[in-house]
Structure 1
């Protein structure tokens, strides 16, 4: 079986159009266990992520989600459409956490194609995306730019 049989047919380098905005199909609820576990594993000592008692008296009134999880979830929600035919993640830039995310919030993601450029290798091109994350209330919680080296259909797709 060809690897191309396992991936999408419309997300090769040639398929992306500058200015196009993609609404990704899936959402993901931020589970408390995920948040606290990753906060602890990364040795993040900010109590706002894991001390419910302390946060009850804060302006937010409850624990805050760890920004690293928010970033990862938004990039992950975009991955099926933007990186399924990726050869390499090339970089993240201009990462902004725009509003707090709390345990139990559900995140959704949109991606805008900002730029397409040829790569040094002929079988792929570079796409620069701007990703936007929103919560269940459509509040803007994340944005960031990402460069991905993506396969060209002309070299990798079914002939």
Structure 2
């Protein structure tokens, strides 16, 4: 039985072209619940992630307008990769690596994130699959880059 009907028709190993850039369709507004819940789940106790009063009175982040807490970088990374996944991950057999992670700007409660992906390289691997190297970019509602990172995955070939 083929799994082709369960996934998109254009995200198999053969479909990825080196140099191609994808703008992923959806965005995600980071709610306070998203950000604070994850901080508590992973035991991140940095006050900047859930103490709005502290952000207003103590932190000089060159953000004079800051009224909200900072979003934990792990949440930012997860959301951007998640937004990219429909186009880049439906036929992934195994995630291989994440490298060169850069959190390049603040994300606050209420920020909306969007994702882009560039195909850096691809190589044949085991039967029925190949390795694709991606660079993911996350931008906020003002189109400011807030995340960049590379990901390698073993991706199913269509014939498999």
TM norm structure 2: 0.93
| Aligned length in residues | 154
CA distance in 1: counterparts of 2:13 and 2:43, whole angstroms: 38
**C-alpha displacement of 1:4:** 1.3
C-alpha separation in 2, matches of 1:34 and 1:21: 28
2:43 maps to what in 1? 43
Residue 30 of structure 1 aligns with which residue? 30
1:147 aligned partner: 152
Q: Distance in 2 between matches of 1:15 and 1:154?
A: 12
Whether 2:134 is the aligned partner of 1:134: answer no
TM-score (norm 1): 0.94
Shift of 1:6: 1.1
1:62-141 superposed matches below 5 A? 62-119=68-125, 121-141=126-146
2:54, 2:23 → 1: CA distance?
37
Rounded Cα–Cα distance in structure 1 between residues aligned with 2:2 and 2:121? 29
Unaligned runs of 5+ in 1: none
